[in-house]
Amino acid sequence: MPNDRLCEIESGSFNNNPIHIGNLHFYNSVILFALIFLTPKVAISQQSPVVPASPLASSSRETVPAPANGFVTMPKQTSDHRSQDPEVSIMGMIPDGDYRLFSATVRCNVWTVGVEYDLAFPGTFLKARADYATEILPVVLLSQPDVSDFWGNGLGPNQRLVPGLSILPIGFRFRWRGNNAVRPYVVGKLGAIVFARKALSQAASNANFNIQAAFGIQMRLTERLDLRVEPFEFFHVSNGYMAASNPGMDELATRFGVTYHLRKKVQER
C-alpha cells in the first residue's frame, strides 16, 4: 500500500459515501467541543427564571394591581382609631367594708350607680392614653346610723338609708397598653354629692365634697364593648367644714361595669 494514503476502513455506506476514520476523529472533536460549551447554557436556560424581588413586595405581602392609567395607588394605612375613641361607661359600686382613713365615722357605707364619660387628649402621657373624665351618679345610697352624735358615732344599732346624687365634673384617667385586650388604668375625680338629709351627723350638712380614686382594668369584649373592673376604689365624702360638724366618710369599694366606644367621624380626603 502507498505510504501517503491513509488506511481506510469501509464499515458501511451512507448515501454511497464511505466513512473514513480520519474524518470521524474530526467530527468527534467538533461534537465534544459543542457539548462542552453549549451544555451549561442549555441547562441554565431550562431553569426557572429568577425574578428580582420588588421593594413593594418585600414591605407587603399583598400585591397591588396596576390601574389602567399606569400609576400604582398604594393602599391607605388606616390606624386603629379605637384607642382614641370617646368612651361611655356604666358603673356600679359596692363597698368592701368600713374604714377610717381621713374620717371619724363608723358603720357608714355607700352604694352607687353612675355614668362616666372619657374623652382622650391628643398624644400620650407617660406612654398612656390621657383622658378627661367626668361622671354623674344618679343613684347614691348611704347607709348610716339612724341616731349619731356630733362626730357621727352611732348611738344605736339601727341603720338608715339616705339617697343622694353626685356630680364629678373634674377628673383624669390614664390608661396603658393602647389597643390590647387587657388595659390597666388609674383614675381620679372630684365633685360634689348632695343627700336628701344631713349626712353622717345631725350637725353636718346635706351637701358635701366627693373625691374618688381607683385602679382598674379594662378588658375587650367586642369591637365596641369592654368590661371594666376597679378592684380598688377610694370613695371620700366630707363637707370641708361648711357646717359645724365634719365627720367625713372613707370607703374602700369595688366598681365594675361596661364601656361603650363612640366612633369619631373620619373625614375622607
pLDDT at 151: 86
pLDDT at 20: 45
pLDDT at 235: 96
Residue among 263, 262, 265 nearest 89 (CA): 262
d(C-alpha 250, C-alpha 97), whole Å: 10
Residue among 70, 79, 50, 74 nearest 62 (CA): 74
Q: How many CB atoms lie within 10 A of CB 57?
A: 13
d(C-alpha 163, C-alpha 165), whole Å: 7
pLDDT at 126: 86
pLDDT at 102: 82
pTM, 2 dp: 0.67
Domain 84-261, what architecture?
Beta Barrel (2.40)
Provide the β-strand partners of residue 182.
219
In sequence order, what E strands does the chain have? 13-14, 17-18, 87-95, 109-125, 128-145, 159-175, 182-195, 207-220, 225-238, 249-261
pLDDT at 103: 84
Residue among 173, 148, 145, 168 nearest 158 (CA): 145
Please, what's the b/e burial string for 243-252 (b: 16 or more CB within 10 A of its CB; e: otherwise)? eebbbbbbbe
pLDDT at 34: 52
pLDDT at 204: 94
Q: Can you give the C-alpha Rg of the chain in angstroms?
A: 43
Residue among 186, 231, 228, 258 nearest 96 (CA): 231
156 with 144: CB under 8 angstroms? no
Could you tell me the mean pLDDT of each successive run of 10 residues in the chain, 269 residues long?
43 43 48 49 45 46 52 47 83 89 87 97 89 97 92 89 97 92 96 95 94 97 95 94 92 96 64
Please, what's the b/e burial string for 124-144 (b: 16 or more CB within 10 A of its CB; e: otherwise)? eeeebbbbebbbebeebebeb
pLDDT at 251: 93
